[in-house]
Every structure is written in structure tokens, then in C-alpha cells.
């Protein structure tokens, strides 16, 4: 376990962060973009990190190709499968027909079987994998790593996997920096999800730790020493006031699923993990996949580990009657409402640095430092490498 404290080095970290962690997203990672059940023979068009992409299924497998015909730019999502059972898609305009596995032009139907253009044109393809009923895509030109490297163990080993997906206005970077103690005890107080919980007002001694807890691999975890109990704000009065109906005490975080006790954690490429959310016995993950300049796919995944039918019935009842709606839909909509403003602010001001710093911001800065230090395919971005920072930029 390693404590990551970045508060003394803020300016340099922010500079590296903006240079190496692009607002369009990190391409050298697998990202979840759809449910397997939704990808069928009929093409599904998406914009992913600015790329027009079409997802479709052929011969039982999911494929992704660039949603632009190289002939005259027609969207291949308007196309059809003219050879049932094959791996092809045919463009709607002039009938160019591509193999979706490698992108090769295998026929030009309006030029006959001997068309000399065959084999000479190609549409870009993207590696696709399916795990746990989710479609994962690799948007970089580089050779992909095994998809399991980018899927947390807690998801790979889950017995129940349920998602909520929506396109949100904003930028993925601000949502990765949303989770944490600086907002949770305040923003969510009035949510239905938290209304019956006796919330503490603040966390004492917040700090970030990089390490492994339980069986879920390495994460940057937000730790704190104690729940703040002093409610007296001199000259102002008491806060928080106890509200009628707050009968669930916020207990100790011990014995979470997969051995995870920390409430909130983050890892590259910007995955947030929350233990015991949205119901007891769940591990929750969320991804933020940038689509266009002002939107991202907010991909929320709840994982459960019931082993008997009775446990499963209990888990599903609590999830569908309460956790999904009150937690993943409503509670998390409060976060979306805030991060949309963060994006608008960053567009106006060119950045969105927590300034002036207050103690809970330490986690956001630790994430920035961890991200630039551990970035896959980073080009010597380490904070410890002098080469990475040109002289002009450090002054
Ligand atoms: S634009 Fe696609 S075949 Fe002509
Ligand atoms: Fe939140």
C-alpha cells in the first residue's frame, strides 16, 4: 500500500494531466460500450471518442467497423447484409461489400463479380470482445492487451451483472473526479437513497492509498480516519441537523464483497468503484466513455455474488425494488447534474482545477498523479522523469 499525496506538487501534476490525459478519452484501454444482447445483425451506430463506429453481429460474434464507407462516405449503419450467414456488410449507396472482421472490400455489387476494386479498399475495424454480457471495444491503432486486464476481477467473477447506461452531457474527466468525500456527504443528503441514513457531516483525515484490497486488483482508494462528529460551526450553529426518519446508522465498512472495504476507489482508464452500492452485498463500477466533444456514455455496472437461490432472490429483489432506481438512476443523476457544470466551466476557463485546494481535493489530485504515472502507452509521462517535462513548461 502506498500513500499518494500530490498536494505539494499541484501545478506540475495539473500540467502533466492536461497534456497526457486527453478530454477525448484514453484509447489504449478496453471500454464497455453496449450490452451483448443489444448488438444484433442490425447495425448499431455510435460515436466513440469522436470516431463514427458501427457495431453489429455476424456468425454469432460482435464486430465494430468505422461507420464510413471509404467510397463516398456513406454511413455503413445504413447498409444491409446481402449474403446471409457471411461476415459482411453491404453499403447502401453503391453496394460495396466489406468483411467486418478485417475490413477488406470483398465485392462491389454494382461492378460485377470481376470488379478490379475488390481487395483494394478497406474500412477500419476495431477489436471487440464480449465478457459478462457486455461488449468491450479497443479504439487505439495499437495491438490490444487481453481484455481481462481492463475488467476488474469483481466484475469478471460476478454472478449477477446489471447495468444502467445513458449518454450524459459533459466530459469524462470531470466525472472520474467527482466521487469522493468532498461531495458525497453533502450532495446526496437529500436523495431518496440517503434520506433514511444518518449521514455524518464530513470525513476526518482523508487520504489516497494505491494498493490491493481483497481480490479486486490494484486501485487508488480513498481512505479516511474517522467520520467527523463535531457539528458545531462557530457563529453559525449546528450542522448537520438530525432529520426525522434517519434511522440507519452509517456503519463500519468491513467485510464488503470481494474483500473490498473502501467505499470509493478509482483506476485507469477512469473506472470508479463503489463498495456496497447500490445495495448491500454489491460491488459497483462505472465507466465514462467520451462520445463526442460534449457527451459521454455513462456506463454503470452493479455486480452481485449470491450463491444460493435464496440469496439470489434476495439480491434481485433489493436491487430491482430499490438499489437500481434509488441508487444507480436517481442518486447518480445528482452527480451528472454537477459534472455537467464542471464541463461548462472547463470549456470557459480552459481547465477545471480544484482551486483553491481544500483537504478533500487530495483524492482528485492523487488520481491525476496516479493517472499520469501509470498511463498505458504513456510516452515517458512519469512525474519522476525529467525528460517528460520540457524546460519551458516547468518554469
Ligand atoms: S458510398 Fe459506399 S458504396 Fe459508394
Ligand atoms: Fe456522488
pLDDT in tens, 179-208: 888 898 899 988 999 888 887 888 899 999
- DSSP, collapsed to helix, strand or coil, labels residue 342 as helix
Q: By mean pLDDT, which of 50-54, 65-69, 122-126, 183-187 is the weakest?
A: 183-187
Residues with CB under 6 A from ligand 1: 69, 71-72, 74, 91, 93-96
Ligand 1 pocket mutation pick from 43, 66, 69, 98 by most atoms within 8 angstroms of CB:
69
- Measure 121 CA to ligand 1 centroid, in angstroms: 11
Sign of CA dihedral 180, 217, 150, 11: positive
User: If you average pLDDT over every residue of the chain, what do you get?
Assistant: 92
In contact, 377 and 28? CB cutoff 8 Å:
yes
C-alpha cell of residue 347: 470549456
> In this model, does residue 388 exceed pLDDT 50?
no
Atom from ligand 1 closest to the CA of residue 110? 3
In CATH, the number for domain 39-126 is 2.102.10.10
Sign of CA dihedral 163, 164, 167, 170: negative
What was the pLDDT predicted at 254? 63
φ and ψ at residue 36, rounded to 5 degrees: -55, -40
Peptide bond into 149 cis (omega under 30): no
Question: Predicted confidence band at 387 (pLDDT cuts at 50, 70, 90)?
Answer: very low
Q: What are the strands, taking DSSP E only, across 80-124?
A: 88-90, 96-99, 105-108
CA distance 243 to 304: 32
Q: Whose CA is nearest to atom 1 of ligand 1?
A: 72
What was the pLDDT predicted at 383? 46
What was the pLDDT predicted at 355? 78
What was the pLDDT predicted at 348? 95
What was the pLDDT predicted at 390? 33
C-alpha cell of residue 208: 489516497
Q: Whose CA is nearest to atom 3 of ligand 1?
A: 94
Give the mean pLDDT of 354-379. 89
Give the mean pLDDT of 346-358. 88
C-alpha cell of residue 35: 450490452
pLDDT in tens, 224-241: 998 887 889 999 999 988
- Measure 56 CA to ligand 1 centroid, in angstroms: 18
Query: Radius of gyration (Cα) for the chain, nearest Å?
Result: 24
Query: How wide is the angle at C-alpha 373 spanned by C-alphas 369 and 377, nearest 5°?
Result: 135
Give the mean pLDDT of 39-57. 98
In CATH, the number for domain 150-374 is 3.90.380.10
Neighbours of 251 (CB within 10 A): 8
CA distance 49 to 27: 8
- Measure 141 CA to ligand 2 centroid, in angstroms: 34
Residue among 106, 100, 110, 102 nearest 119 (CA): 106
Q: Integer distance in angstroms from the first to the last C-alpha of the chain?
A: 33
- Measure 91 CA to ligand 1 centroid, in angstroms: 6
What was the pLDDT predicted at 389? 35
What residue ranges do the domains of the chain occupy? 39-126, 150-374
Ligand 1 pocket mutation pick from 54, 67, 88, 96 by most atoms within 8 angstroms of CB:
96
In contact, 264 and 222? CB cutoff 8 Å:
yes
What was the pLDDT predicted at 253? 58
> In this model, does residue 394 exceed pLDDT 80?
no
- Measure 110 CA to ligand 1 centroid, in angstroms: 10
Local structure of residue 104 (DSSP, 8 states): B
Q: Whose CA is nearest to atom 4 of ligand 1?
A: 94
- Measure 69 CA to ligand 2 centroid, in angstroms: 41
In contact, 315 and 333? CB cutoff 8 Å:
no
- DSSP, collapsed to helix, strand or coil, labels residue 194 as coil
- The burial class, CB within 10 Å (0-12 / 13-18 / 19+), for 295 is middle
Q: Name the residues around ion ligand 2, CB cutoff 5 A.
A: 335
Q: Which ligand is nearest to the CA of 75?
A: 1
Amino acid at each position: 500500500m502506498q500513500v499518494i499525496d500530490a498536494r505539494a506538487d499541484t501545478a506540475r501534476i495539473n500540467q502533466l494531466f492536461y497534456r497526457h490525459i486527453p478530454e477525448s478519452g484514453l484509447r489504449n484501454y478496453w471500454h464497455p460500450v453496449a450490452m451483448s444482447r443489444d448488438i444484433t445483425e442490425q447495425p448499431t451506430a455510435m460515436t466513440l471518442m469522436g470516431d463514427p463506429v458501427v457495431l453489429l453481429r455476424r456468425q454469432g460474434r460482435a464486430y465494430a467497423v468505422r461507420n464510413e464507407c471509404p467510397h463516398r462516405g456513406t454511413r455503413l449503419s445504413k447498409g444491409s447484409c446481402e449474403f446471409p450467414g457471411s461476415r459482411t456488410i453491404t453499403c447502401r449507396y453503391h453496394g460495396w461489400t466489406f468483411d467486418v472482421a478485417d475490413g477488406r472490400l470483398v465485392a462491389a455489387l454494382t461492378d460485377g463479380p470481376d470488379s478490379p476494386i475488390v481487395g483494394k479498399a478497406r474500412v477500419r475495424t476495431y477489436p471487440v470482445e464480449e465478457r459478462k454480457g457486455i461488449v468491450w471495444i479497443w479504439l487505439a491503432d495499437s495491438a490490444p492487451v487481453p481484455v481481462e486486464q481492463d475488467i476488474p476481477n469483481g466484475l469478471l467473477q460476478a454472478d449477477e451483472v446489471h447495468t444502467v447506461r445513458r449518454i450524459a452531457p459533459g466530459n469524462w474527466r470531470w466525472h472520474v473526479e467527482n466521487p469522493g468525500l468532498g461531495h458525497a456527504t453533502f450532495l446526496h443528503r437529500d436523495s431518496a437513497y440517503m434520506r433514511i441514513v444518518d449521514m455524518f457531516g464530513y470525513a476526518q483525515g482523508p487520504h489516497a492509498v494505491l494498493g490491493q484490497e481483497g481480490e479486486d486488483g490494484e486501485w487508488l482508494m480513498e481512505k479516511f480516519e474517522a467520520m467527523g462528529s463535531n457539528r458545531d460551526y462557530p457563529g453559525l450553529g449546528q450542522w448537520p441537523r438530525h432529520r426525522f426518519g434517519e434511522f440507519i446508522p452509517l456503519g463500519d465498512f468491513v467485510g464488503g464483497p470481494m474483500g473490498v472495504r473502501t467505499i470509493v476507489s478509482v483506476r485507469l482508464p477512469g473506472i470508479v468503484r463503489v463498495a456496497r452500492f447500490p445495495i448491500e452485498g454489491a460491488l459497483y463500477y462505472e465507466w465514462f466513455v467520451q462520445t463526442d466533444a460534449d457527451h459521454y456514455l455513462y456506463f454503470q455496472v452493479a455486480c452481485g455474488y449470491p450463491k444460493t437461490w435464496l440469496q439470489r432472490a434476495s439480491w434481485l429483489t433489493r436491487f430491482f425494488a430499490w438499489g437500481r432506481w434509488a441508487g444507480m438512476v436517481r442518486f447518480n443523476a445528482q452527480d451528472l447534474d454537477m459534472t455537467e457544470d464542471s464541463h461548462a466551466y472547463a470549456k470557459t476557463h480552459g481547465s477545471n482545477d480544484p482551486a483553491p485546494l481544500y483537504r478533500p481535493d487530495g483524492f482528485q489530485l492523487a488520481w491525476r498523479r496516479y493517472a499520469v504515472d501509470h498511463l498505458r502507452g504513456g510516452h515517458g509521462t512519469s512525474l519522476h522523469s525529467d525528460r517528460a517535462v520540457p524546460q519551458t513548461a516547468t518554469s
